[in-house]
Structure formats: structure tokens, C-alpha cells
Amino acid sequence: MNLYNRDLICTQDWSKAELEAVLDLAAKMKGDRFSPQWTSILQHKTFLMFFYNPSVRTRQSFECAATELGGHAQ
């Protein structure tokens, strides 16, 4: 299953199999989060975030995740 360049904005846009594949990949990445395989996956990428409600904790969590993956959060 090719999920390259897919955006997860709304779960209704994805099949059950696609959602399961993304969640499986997320669990794998979390379990091995400091592997060089993952720490540069967002290198030279900017991660733009929009939230409906302001939340410092949520924003900081996303910023930390993007940074750990080698990206830059805005």
C-alpha cells in the first residue's frame, strides 16, 4: 500500500486498511524513535500546523515530534 504524499486531514478520506497501516507505522516509529531511519525523515521539510483551538501542550507536542524527525515546525 502506497501512502506516500498522503495527508491525514479527515479519517473519512481513508479506508480502514489505510488507517491501520498508518497506525502500525506510527507504533513502529514510536517504539524505535531514535533510529537514524526516522530521525531524518523530515529533514529539509517544514511542518505547518493549524489547530481549531489554541493549545500550548498540543502545539509543543507537535513541534517536538517534527524536530525529533529532523523537520522544522511552524
Average pLDDT over residues 47-57: 85
Report field, pTM of the whole predicted structure over 0.85: no
Q: Which of 40, 15, 37 is nearest to 28 (CA)?
A: 37
Q: According to the model, what pLDDT value does residue 27 have?
A: 94
Domain ranges of the chain: 1-31, 33-74
Model confidence at 51: pLDDT above 90: no
pLDDT tens digits for range 14-32: 999 999 999 999 999 889 8
Asked if residue 50 has pLDDT above 90, the reply is: no
Q: How far apart are CA 11 and CA 74, in angstroms?
A: 23
The arithmetic mean of pLDDT across residues 6-18, rounded, is 92
The pLDDT value recorded for residue 4 is: 87
